[in-house]
Structure 1
Amino acid sequence: MKNIVLSIFLLSSIFCFAQSPQIEKVNINLLIDSAANKMLKKPLIHSTSIAIVYHGKEYIGHYGELQKGKNNCPNNETIYEIGSLSKTFAGTLAAKAVCENKLNVDDEIQKYLTEDYPNLKYGSQPILVKHLLSHTSGLPNMLPLEANTILQDFTNYETPAKINLLYNNYGQKDFLRDLHKVKIDTVPGYKYSYSSTGSELIAFILEKVYKTKYEKLLTEYLSTSMAMQNTKISLSDLEAKKLAVGYHSDNSIITYAMPQLPWGASGNMKSTIPDMVKYIKFQLKNNKIVAKSQKSIVKFDHEFSIGYFWNIATDDRKLGTYYLHHGGVPRSQCYIFIIPKYDLGAFIITNQSGAETSKVMEDALNEIFERIITEEKKG
């Protein structure tokens, strides 16, 4: 993590909600306040929600306005689009299937496909399940292939509308048809190439393994294992009214929600901040499913590995080995960090999505992490 000089101060009038202090070494609520209010001074950022779990205690803060001038601060009932964080849930379900001996990551994916896909290999080297989980399959980021061209110009005002039009009525049969058009140009298992196509295929495989629709499999597991009642792919009409509006790039007009993808495992999940706290707590537990999901599948260098869709920062000199993922859709971006060395986890989200959004969130979390580390070292 970058070495950031910390200057703690509280800007009043912007802070909307935070849990009452439950701290020992450092006031986490004040750290969240400081980081969030600095965020709101950045261009285009006018709301954020931040959750920290530290030594089992939870701290939540909501700040700003979802719509500028509307005085509608986000709260614990606000439902957010969490984008590609959805992949970590698919990875957790895959780890569960492995632990239950229902799935072998060394299986060829062809084993689970109902049609023959001779194109899903490089020479004699087939794509395996573990290649999907580690973004080393060689599959394109998105299907249909046209989506990748559109997303190359992500900040263009027309991009959200083009993506929505492309995915209008694009279902699972269309995805499996377009999978025949893919050409693998490298040996699977070695080259990192981010692939939402791969995470959609994991959902398909999990359906085959459990003989249950992916969304049902997901929501039942979250509900029973983590008490996450408000995290799902599809929303009811009542829930949809609580979905946060958001803004794309520097466009001041509210933009489209993320369109429905064939299975939704790569970027369609929605959640609340209290539910994301529960997810952090689950990921900090030392149980066999978490351990499996966080186990490195491919180590690219001494600093970076991939687990079951988790990005793994290996042996960071300050944070130790930690797990993270970024999520982004045309109108929101977020991060999750799981840092076992300090029994620490964090989730941050803002309802704006542009070229600089991720850095703004990284800076906010870095400030919080730096202070916690400093206090830990003091003992």
Structure 2
Amino acid sequence: MSILFKGILTVIMVGLSGNFAAHATSPDVGKLEKALQTHITHDQAVGLVVGILDDNGRQIISLGKSDRLNGPVVDENSIFEIGSVTKTFTGILLAEMVIRGEVSLDDPVAEYLPENVTLPSRDGQQITLRHLATHTSGLPRMPDNFKPVYATNPYADYTVQDMYDFLSGHKLTRDIGAVAEYSNIGMGLLGHILARKAQMPYEDLVKQRILRPLGMKDTTITISAAQKPHFTTGHDPAGEPASHWDIPTFAGAGAFRSTGKDMMTYLAANMAVTVTSLSPAIEMSHRFQHEFGSKDMYIGLGWLTRTGAEATVIWHNGGTGGYRTSIGFDKSRKRGVFVLTNSQDDPDKIAMAILKDEIASLVVEPAETITNVGKFVGDYQLAPNFILSVTAEKGRLYVQATGQVKLPIYVKGQNEFFYKAVNASLSFIEDEAGNISSLILHQNGNHPAKKIR
């Protein structure tokens, strides 16, 4: 029993239903800025940098702070962790190396690993580079020997040897190439292999082959002394400062940091607004390779594509402990958008609202006031060693499960609350005297917890 831990991405995106004009007009920047400001005012976001690229040019909107407590305001040069948007770098890198003739999409992965590493196979079929890039390798989302020493920086102590040990001992449970299942270890392994092939660190390789040719000067894994003042602080679901994440072994899955200025450059390159030596590799990374989860979703090399009756959006999102990112574009309508935030605000919702000209839907209303918050405060026992501690701060309720971060909950109804950070809700139960005596956690079932303090 646990409230789910979030990894370096969420691949769930709001659908493409809605009104897409045949030829998109630029959104009213004033209205958009006012709508986004409500996210800051009502504590849904700490800092936001939003970029729009369309027929009217490039616009970047920056709102909020780099740190909730005492940070400067964010701008286009502020640095954010972009999590799994890194996977699109890895996909383009693979395409670039294929075009150079250095590797082939259908090369067996085992060819690029040390001889003492045994890569799992199934029914005589081997995992290829294409399988890793399209999440069809049969490898799981995360390795079963992933046991972080520090929950606040969970990937920092996972070593290459740990990855090799997992691969050598893992047995695939489904056919290779049959079904796409999102895999951080798969894309992390791909980045590792490409770096081994090029005989240089993954970060250096991406900078040499992708970032420098595009002019993305502040996109990096290693933060320099000159960049430190621009590096924002991430914030957890309770709005508290979160540790930066270090992802050495799975770097290809989510280690990069970037700025609004650089993400605009990246957006322009992917939309073919700017043409560079990388354009063939970028175009190759967009091509459909495999169905991804539903009949309207496909994956290329890293990039995802969602198709609809009125639009086709190429996109990816990302998240680390204190950051969320989304980037998406519709080439036919010539509109692209990216969203960077150092909080738990939903960047996909913002991005899709901009793409669909639904700016009014972004306005955040003030949270409903909770009367008599004190009656809910206490410790509730779900299991012998698993407690939900409910606290109140400034009229708001927070819940912290044993060994996990504190999360805010929001009013749903009388004695009913819900989480925004995870798919769960709580019902508080009153005794005959009107006092709260227990609660029920609604998450993958109904789980009662008695109030013990």
Asked whether 1:366 is paired with 2:352, we answer yes
Structure 1 residue 117: deviation in Å?
4.5
Q: Which residue of 1 aligns with 2:137?
A: 137
Higher RCO (C-alpha 8 Å, min separation 6):
1
Structure 1 residue 215: deviation in Å?
1.2
Match of 1:3 among 5, 18, 21: 18
Question: Given the superposition, is the C-alpha separation of residues 104 and 43 from structure 1 closer, same or farther in structure 2, using an over 3 Å criterion?
Answer: same
CA distance in 1, matches of 2:71, 2:253: 32
CA-to-aligned-CA distance 1:25-50 (integer Å, 9 cap, x gap): 54552353144224335553232110
Contact 1:108 1:126 in 2 (8 A): yes
Contact 2:180 2:291 in 1 (8 A): no
Amino acid at match of 1:261: P
Secondary structure of the residue aligned to 1:63 is strand
Counterparts in 2 of 1:1-379, with a 5 A limit? 1-3=16-18, 25-40=25-40, 43-55=43-55, 57-68=57-68, 70=70, 72-143=72-143, 145-147=145-147, 161-162=150-151, 164=153, 167-250=155-238, 252-285=239-272, 287-300=279-292, 301-314=294-307, 316-319=308-311, 321-353=312-344, 357-358=345-346, 361-371=347-357
Q: Provide the identity percentage.
A: 23
Secondary structure of the residue aligned to 2:281 is helix
CA distance in 1, matches of 2:129, 2:78: 35
Contact 2:136 2:177 in 1 (8 A): yes
TM-score, with normalisation over the residues of structure 2?
A: 0.68
TM-score, with normalisation over the residues of structure 1?
A: 0.81
Contact 2:192 2:202 in 1 (8 A): yes
Amino acid at match of 1:188: I
In terms of Rg, which structure is larger? 2
Amino acid at match of 2:207: T
Contact 2:327 2:337 in 1 (8 A): yes
Question: Given the superposition, is the C-alpha separation of residues 120 and 42 from structure 1 closer, same or farther in structure 2, using an over 3 Å criterion?
Answer: farther
Contact 1:324 1:338 in 2 (8 A): yes
Contact 1:56 1:281 in 2 (8 A): no
Structure 1 residue 331: deviation in Å?
0.1
CA distance in 2, matches of 1:232, 1:119: 30
Structure 1 residue 163: deviation in Å?
5.2
CA distance in 2, matches of 1:71, 1:256: 15
Contact 1:55 1:342 in 2 (8 A): no
Question: Given the superposition, is the C-alpha separation of residues 269 and 364 from structure 1 closer, same or farther in structure 2, using an over 3 Å criterion?
Answer: same
Question: Given the superposition, is the C-alpha separation of residues 218 and 197 from structure 1 closer, same or farther in structure 2, using an over 3 Å criterion?
Answer: same
Structure 1 residue 324: deviation in Å?
0.7
Structure 1 residue 113: deviation in Å?
1.0
Structure 1 residue 318: deviation in Å?
2.5
Higher helix share: 1
Structure 1 residue 372: deviation in Å?
8.7
Structure 1 residue 95: deviation in Å?
0.7
Q: Which residue of 2 aligns with 1:12?
A: none
Structure 1 residue 141: deviation in Å?
2.0
Secondary structure of the residue aligned to 1:313 is strand
CA distance in 2, matches of 1:293, 1:56: 26
Higher strand share: 2
CA distance in 2, matches of 1:89, 1:31: 33
CA distance in 2, matches of 1:305, 1:27: 28
Question: Given the superposition, is the C-alpha separation of residues 307 and 27 from structure 1 closer, same or farther in structure 2, using an over 3 Å criterion?
Answer: closer
Q: Which residue of 2 aligns with 1:17?
A: none
Question: Given the superposition, is the C-alpha separation of residues 44 and 187 from structure 1 closer, same or farther in structure 2, using an over 3 Å criterion?
Answer: same
Identify the range of structure 1 (134-143 vs 25-34) with the bigger mean alpha-carbon deviation.
25-34
Amino acid at match of 2:138: G
Q: Which residue of 2 aligns with 1:18?
A: none
Secondary structure of the residue aligned to 1:266 is helix
Contact 1:227 1:278 in 2 (8 A): yes
Contact 1:47 1:74 in 2 (8 A): yes
CA distance in 2, matches of 1:128, 1:31: 48
Q: Unaligned regions of 5+ residues in structure 2, if any?
A: 1-15, 360-453
Identify the range of structure 1 (175-184 vs 324-333) with the bigger mean alpha-carbon deviation.
175-184
Question: What root-mean-square deviation, in Å, do the aligned CA atoms of Structure 1 and Structure 2 show?
Answer: 2.6
Contact 1:35 1:365 in 2 (8 A): no
CA-to-aligned-CA distance 1:66-109 (integer Å, 9 cap, x gap): 33363722112211100010000000100101111211111111
Amino acid at match of 2:310: K
Contact 1:161 1:256 in 2 (8 A): no
Structure 1 residue 128: deviation in Å?
1.3
